[in-house]
Chain A
Amino acid sequence: MARMRYNQALRLALAEEMERDPNVFICGEDVGQYQGTYRVTEGLFQQFGPRRVLDTPISEIGIAGLATGAAMVGLRPVAEFMTWSFALEAMDQLVNHAAKITYMSSGRIHCPVVFRGPAGVGTQLSAQHSQSLESWYAHTPGFKVVVPSTPADAKGLLKAAIRDDNPVIFMEHASLYGLAGEVPEDPDFTLPLGVASVVREGSDVTLISYLRCLHLCLKAAEMLEKENISCEVIDLRTLVPLDVDALLRSIKKTHRAVVVHDEWRNVSISAEIAARLYEQGYDELDAPVERVAGADVPMPYARNLERAAIPNENEIVAAVRRTLA
C-alpha cells in the first residue's frame, strides 16, 4: 500500500494499464504536454510518447468519435473530457455510437473504450460547468457507469474499466482529486464493476451514496453515532451495473434507507434506487426511502447559493431522523 491522492491513483492506474497492454492509449484536451488539467496524466506523455498520449483539438465530438472508432478496431482508448459538462457536445458519439455499436453489429464489434473526467458540483464553476449528469448515461443501455469515491477505488475501478469490453463512463469528482488515501500498489489490483462496498457497518439505517456525497454520509454517520443511531454506509462504486442485492441485504438489517447524491433529484439515480427498493424490498422497509439530492435548479455561482443547492451532512442527518420517526 502507498499513500497517494485520488488523481495520483488514477494516474497510477493509467500508467500500469498502458505498461500492461500496448493497445491502451490516452486522448483528450491538454492530456499530453500540459499533463492534464487535474494532473491525472502527469508524466505519461514523457513516459509513453505522443502516439500513446494524444493531445486533441478542442472538439469533444472529435475526441469521442476518435476513441469510439479506435475501440471498434481493437484498441483500448481512454478518452478524457476536461469536464463531463463538455461531453454534452459529444452526446451523439457517446449515446448513438459507443453505447450502441455492439448491438448494431449483432455483437461482432465491441467498443472497449473508457470516457473519463471530472464531474460533480461544489467548486463554484457555475451552471454550465457544475452539474452531475450520471443519470443520463445510466439511463442509456450499453454503458457501464463508474463513480469512484476514494483513491483506492479510483485505481481499482479505472483498471477494471480499461479491461472491460464495454464502453465505460468513468466519472470522477472535481472536489475529490486532492483526497489522499492508501492505495494498493499491486499492478493486478482491480475492483469488479457492479459490486458495491459497505464502507461502514450499522444497524438502524442504510445510507447509499457515491462520489463526494459518500464522504458527507460518513460525516453524518459519525454525528448520528453520538446519538446512538447506527448508520450503515454503502458506496455504490458503479451505477451500472447497480448492486441492488447489496442494498437489499442491508435494508434487511436496517429496514430504512437514505439515498444521497449531488445530481438533481428529479428522475435521478436515487429515484431509481428507491423504486428498486420498493419493488424488491417492500416487505423489509419500515419507512419511506428518503432522498437527499441536489436542488432542481441550474447551479448558482454565488458560494452561499451553491451551498444551499447541494447536499450537506445536516440534511442527511435530518433525513435519517425522518426515517426513524
Chain B
Amino acid sequence: MAEVRMPKMGDGMEEGTIIAWLKKEGEPVAKGEAIAEIETDKARVPLESYEEGVLTKILVQPGETVPIGTAVAIVGEPTAQKTDSQRSNGATASSTEESQNRLSSAQTTTNTATPLSQATITTSAQSEERVRASGLARSIAKQYGIDLHQIKGTGPNGRIVERDVRAFLQTQTTPTAPETAPVVERAPESVPTTVPGQEIQPSRMRRAIAERTRKSKQNIPHFYVTMVIEMDRARALLQELNADASDGNKITVNDLIVKACAVALTRVPEVNASWTDNNTIVRHEAIHIGIAVGIEEGLIVPVVRDCQAKTLRQISAEAKQLIAKARSGQLKPEEYSGSTFSISNLGMMGVDEFTAIINPPDAAILAVGGIFREPVVVGDTDEIAIRARMKVTLSADHRVLDGVVAARFLQELKRVLEAPLSLLS
C-alpha cells in the first residue's frame, strides 16, 4: 500500500489543487498512469501513480488545495479496499469509527505543535475526521488555504475558533501564508461596508501573481531607465524576412527584441545576474529569457533557454511554441522557471511606455512599448523627419547593478536594434 502525495512541480510551488480524479476508488491503476488532474499556480498537469495496484482511497476531494507532500490518495492491493467497506458495513461500525476518531484526534494534537512542513504530512485518518470549527475559523482557514486538520482547537469541546487559526498562521514558517496574511486580514475591515461590490475568490494563479509581485516589489529595490529606440530598420528587416513566410513562421518584433536582449546581455553580463539569499551575486553563464504572456487566468512567463547560442529563427520558433502552450495551460514547470532575464511587451496594445516588476531571481526586466511613427529632429541641420520609435524601460535590481550599467545595457540594445543585420548572424 502506498500513499500518492501532492508532488512539487516547480520552483515556487507550495501547494496544489486536485481538479478531478480520473480514477474512481476501487479502480485498478497501472504504474505511471494518470489518476488525477492537478493544478499548480502555473499549469494543469496529470498526477501519476508510482505504484501498480488499486486506487483504494481518495483522500482529497476535487477543488481542495493541499500543501506539497500531502497524501492525496492511497494505492494498494485490491483486498485492502474490500476490508474497508466490510468494516463500515459491519455491526461494530460505530465503535470502530469512534476509536479511529479518538486515535486521529490524538494525532492531530501532536501534529499541530510542529511547524507546517511536518504538520502538512497528514495521515489518511486525519483527513477523514470531521473537524469541529466555528464558522469564522472555517472562513479564515479557507481564505488562507489552511487545512483545519492541522490545527488544535482550544474552544469548547475542542472546537477550533478564530484565535486558534490566527495562532497557527503565526507559527507558520513558510513565507506564503504569513506574508499574505495581513493583506487579506485587513481587507474586509478597511473596505467600507457601504460600498457595494462583489467579493471574488482569486484563482490560484491570481494568488500566485499577487504573492510574487508583492514580494518582488517589497524586497527588491527597483530603479528604472528608459530609452527610445528607432525601429525603422528593424521593421524593414522583418518585412524582408517575413516576405515569403507563412503566418505561423513569421518572425515578430518581440522575437527580434529577445534576440537583441541576448546580444546586449552578452555584452553587459552584469545584468544577467541574480542577488542570492546569501547576499552574494551570481552572474549567469547562460542567458535564459522569460517572456511575459498574458492569458485568461492571469500571467505566465515561459522561458527561452540559452538564447546566447540560438539564432533569431530558433528563438522565434521556440517562443511561438511556448506562447501557444502558455495559452492552453500546458506549460511544464521547467518551461516557466529558471529565467535570468525577462521581457514584458505591451507594444501591441498601443502602450506608449510602462514599467514592469522584476521577475525574481532575475536582476532586470525590460518593459517594451509600442512602435509609433513620430516626427523627430534629425541630423545637424535641424531637419524634421518621421521615424518609427519604440520606448523601452529597464527595471533593475539596485542591489545587483547601478544606473550606469542599466544605461549601458540599453545602449547596446539600441545599437543592435537600430543596426539589426547583426542579429541574423
Contacts and interface: CB of A to CB of B under 8 A. Distances in A.
Interface of A: 249, 252, 255, 278, 281-287, 322, 325
B94 to A, nearest CB: 26
A284 B139 CA distance: 8
A286 B138 CA distance: 9
Interface of B: 134-139, 155-156, 161-162, 188, 193
Nearest to B188: A252
Nearest to A282: B135
B134 A287 contact: yes
A286 B156 contact: no
26 contacts: A249-B193, A252-B188, A252-B193, A255-B162, A278-B135, A281-B135, A282-B135, A283-B136, A283-B138, A284-B135, A284-B136, A284-B139, A285-B134, A285-B135, A285-B136, A286-B134, A286-B135, A286-B136, A286-B137, A286-B161, A287-B155, A287-B156, A287-B161, A322-B156, A325-B155, A325-B156
A250 to B, nearest CB: 11
Contacts of B138: 283
A282 B136 CA distance: 7
Contacts of A282: 135
Contacts of A281: 135
B188 A286 contact: no
A283 B135 contact: yes
B193 A286 contact: no
A283 B188 contact: no
A178 B111 CA distance: 60
Contacts, number: 31
Contacts of A283: 135-136, 138-139
Nearest to B156: A325
Contact of B162 (A249, A252, A286): A286
3 tightest A-B contacts by CB? Answer: A283-B139, A282-B135, A286-B136
Contacts of A284: 135-136, 139
B379 to A, nearest CB: 68
A100 B138 CA distance: 44
Contacts of B135: 278, 281-286
Contacts of B139: 283-284
A290 to B, nearest CB: 12
Contact of B136 (A249, A255, A322): A255
A322 B135 CA distance: 16
A282 to B, nearest CB: 4
A255 B140 CA distance: 12
A316 to B, nearest CB: 18
Nearest to A278: B135
Contacts of A322: 156
A160 to B, nearest CB: 24
A279 to B, nearest CB: 11
Nearest to A284: B136
A81 B193 CA distance: 42
A281 B162 CA distance: 15
Nearest to B161: A286
Nearest to A281: B135
B17 to A, nearest CB: 21
A275 to B, nearest CB: 14
Given A255-B136, A283-B139, A285-B134, 17 more contacts: A249-B193, A255-B162, A278-B135, A281-B135, A283-B135, A283-B136, A284-B135, A284-B139, A286-B134, A286-B135, A286-B136, A286-B162, A287-B134, A287-B156, A287-B161, A322-B156, A325-B155
A202 to B, nearest CB: 16
A17 B138 CA distance: 52
Interface centre among B136, B137, B139, B188 (most CB of A within 10 A): B136
A284 B137 CA distance: 8
Interface centre among A283, A286, A325 (most CB of B within 10 A): A286
B294 to A, nearest CB: 33
A285 B134 CA distance: 7
A278 B188 CA distance: 19
Nearest to B155: A325
B59 to A, nearest CB: 26
A285 B137 CA distance: 8
Contacts of B161: 286-287
Nearest to A249: B193
B163 to A, nearest CB: 8
Nearest to A251: B136
Contacts of B188: 252
A104 B318 CA distance: 77
A281 B188 CA distance: 14
